Amino acid sequence: MINKQTEIFLNKKSEELLGKRTDEIYDVEDEFEKKLENSEKPLQKTLLAGKKISGKYYCLHNDRKIPVFVNATPVICESEIIGAILLFRDISRENEIDRAKTEFVSLASHQLRTPLSIINWYSEALTQNQNNFSKEQKNYMKKICNANQRMINLVKSLLNTSRLEMNTFSIKNKEIDLVKIARNTLEEVAELCSVQNISIEEKFSSETIRLKGDPQLLTIILHNLLTNAIKYSKRDGKIILEIFEQKTDIIIDVIDQGIGIPEKQKKEIFTRFFRANNAKEKDAEGTGLGLYIIKTTVEKLGGKITFDSKEKKGTTFSVILPKNGTLEKESAKKLI
């Protein structure tokens, strides 16, 4: 049974469709525009699992492709699943508005980068030439430099977020050695570690771990996970960076013994701008964009990110990436 609106969309009367399978009538793609196997489609998923499924998809019919929000609900009679109800809501307009917002953020953050870099050069030049400064003036200079650096980081995260959302960044798929990338990243975070006397132990399954991927995106993922582990560890803490191979995948684990993630806030942890209460108390300066950027990047690389955490005991973030990488994508822009 289909309603009037579906008849209009499909340009068919319901009688014409009787007896046909839904996959003969329309196709479904996920929100990243990847074609779905039958078992991954909301109808089959709800019938198999016997529970509600909802999410963003694309509905394809003839030459049309419409972004939709789907609610799939099983119809259960005397504990037997006898069918399902599928509700499609056309979200083209919401998507357009979202895109316009993202374009604005992208443009604004791009424009902010130049003046911020200029402030950075001159304030650093002044800090290096402080002989005539009083103690108070030196203190002010330090505060200006720190605040400016925070602003540069925020603008960088906003630009990356908008590029990820608009899909306007390149993805390379070349043969790389993850151990090399991990060691370079560890050098980059060494100073941050030394401030809090934190040590990072390497546990690599071999001296070279090869996979196909984008070295710069992998550096961003590792850098973000490691800086989070450092920021949310206690003084003198210990972190483990574990990388090992499985048959078709590479697993990266970043294990810390820090403040952990409160149970009640776990489900929101990958949401844009979200910061848990204990994190805000420990470090007032985060943006809440890092994990969102990592998750989106990992998924664009065909991988998955999960975590396990206990408040006051520690957190483990695990990233699983396919050894064969993903499809290359050309773009003049990249993540920074």
Instruction: Output 215 or 288, the one with its CB closest to ligand ADP.
Output: 288
Instruction: Output 42 or 286, the one with its CB closest to ligand ADP.
Output: 286
Residue among 300, 254, 299, 293 at smallest CA distance from 273: 293
Tell the smallest beta-carbon distance from residue 85 to ligand ADP (Å).
36
Give the number of residues in contact with ligand ADP, rule: CB under 6 A: 21
| Cα–Cα distance list, 286 to 16, 92, 198 (Å) | 57, 33, 19
Tell the smallest beta-carbon distance from residue 315 to ligand ADP (Å).
4
Tell the smallest beta-carbon distance from residue 321 to ligand ADP (Å).
19
Tell the smallest beta-carbon distance from residue 283 to ligand ADP (Å).
7
Q: Strand pairing of 249-256 and 210-213?
A: unpaired
Tell the smallest beta-carbon distance from residue 255 to ligand ADP (Å).
9
**92 backbone dihedrals φ, ψ, rounded to 5°:** -55, -45
The order of strands in the sheet holding 238-245 is: 199-204, 238-245, 249-256, 314-322, 304-310
Instruction: Output 46 or 309, the one with its CB closest to ligand ADP.
Output: 309
Instruction: Output 72 or 222, the one with its CB closest to ligand ADP.
Output: 222
Binding to ligand ADP by residue 318, rule CB under 6 A? no
Contact 47, 13 (CB under 8 A): no
- Residue ranges in the chain assigned as alpha helix (H): 4-10, 14-17, 22-25, 42-49, 92-128, 135-166, 178-196, 215-231, 277-282, 290-300
Instruction: Pick the stretch among 20-28, 47-55, 123-131, 281-289 that binds ligand ADP (CB under 6 A).
Output: 281-289
The footprint of ligand ADP on residues 283-312 (CB under 6 A) is: 286-292
Q: Build a one-symbol-per-residue string for 198-237: x at contacts with ligand ADP by CB under 6 A, - elsewhere.
A: ------------------------------xx--x-----
Separation CA 178–CA 175 (nearest Å): 10
Tell the smallest beta-carbon distance from residue 313 to ligand ADP (Å).
10
Tell the smallest beta-carbon distance from residue 249 to ligand ADP (Å).
22
Amino acid identity of residue 228, one-letter, is: N
Look up residue 114 and give its two tokens: 């130049």
Tell the smallest beta-carbon distance from residue 325 to ligand ADP (Å).
24
Burial of 61 (0-12, 13-18, 19+ CB in 10 A): middle
Q: Please pick, from the candidates 217, 261, 305, 321, the single residue that binds ligand ADP as defined by CB under 6 A.
A: 261
Separation CA 167–CA 155 (nearest Å): 18
Binding site for ligand ADP (CB under 6 A): 228-229, 232, 256, 258-261, 269, 274-276, 279, 286-292, 315
